[in-house]
Amino acid sequence: MDQYRVFGNPIKQSRSPFIHQKFAEQTNEQLNYQSEYVEIGEFAQAVQHLISVGGKGANVTAPFKEEAMALCDKLTERAKLAGAVNTLSFVNGEVWGDTTDGDGLVNDLLANDVVLKNKKILLLGAGGAAKGVILPLLEQSPAQLVVANRTVSKAEAIIQQYPKHPITCCSFEEVTDHKFDVIINATSAGLNGQALPISEEVIQQNVTCYDMTYGKTLTPFLQLAKQRNAVKLIDGLGMLVGQAAVSFAIWRNTQPETKQVLALLREEILK
Contact residues: ligand ATR, CB under 6 A: 125-130, 149-151, 154, 187-189, 192, 194, 196
CA distance 17 to 75: 24
Contacts of 198 (CB under 8 A, 6+ apart): 124, 148, 172, 175
CB-nearer residue toward ligand ATR: 31 or 81: 81
Min CB(130)–ligand ATR separation in Å: 6
Min CB(25)–ligand ATR separation in Å: 31
CB-nearer residue toward ligand ATR: 170 or 264: 170
271 is catalytic: no
Using CB atoms within 10 A of its CB, is residue 264 exposed (0-12), middle (13-18) or buried (19+)? middle
CB-nearer residue toward ligand ATR: 134 or 261: 134
**HEC profile of the chain:** CEEEEEEECCCCCCCHHHHHHHHHHHHCCCEEEEEEECCCCCHHHHHHHHHHCCEEEEEECCCCHHHHHHCCCEECHHHHHHCCCCEEEEECCEEEEECCHHHHHHHHHHHCCCCCCCCEEEEECCCHHHHCCHHHHHCCCCCEEEEECCCHHHHHHHHCCCCCCCEEEECCCCCCCCCCCEEEECCCCHHHCCCCCCCHHHCCCCCEEEECCCCCCCCHHHHHHHHCCCCEEECCHHHHHHHHHHHHHHHHCCCCCCHHHHHHHHHHHHC
CB-nearer residue toward ligand ATR: 133 or 262: 133
Min CB(40)–ligand ATR separation in Å: 16
- Please tell me which residue in 12, 22, 56, 65 is annotated as part of the active site: 65
Min CB(173)–ligand ATR separation in Å: 11
Min CB(196)–ligand ATR separation in Å: 6
CB-nearer residue toward ligand ATR: 81 or 261: 81
Active-site annotation, residues = 65
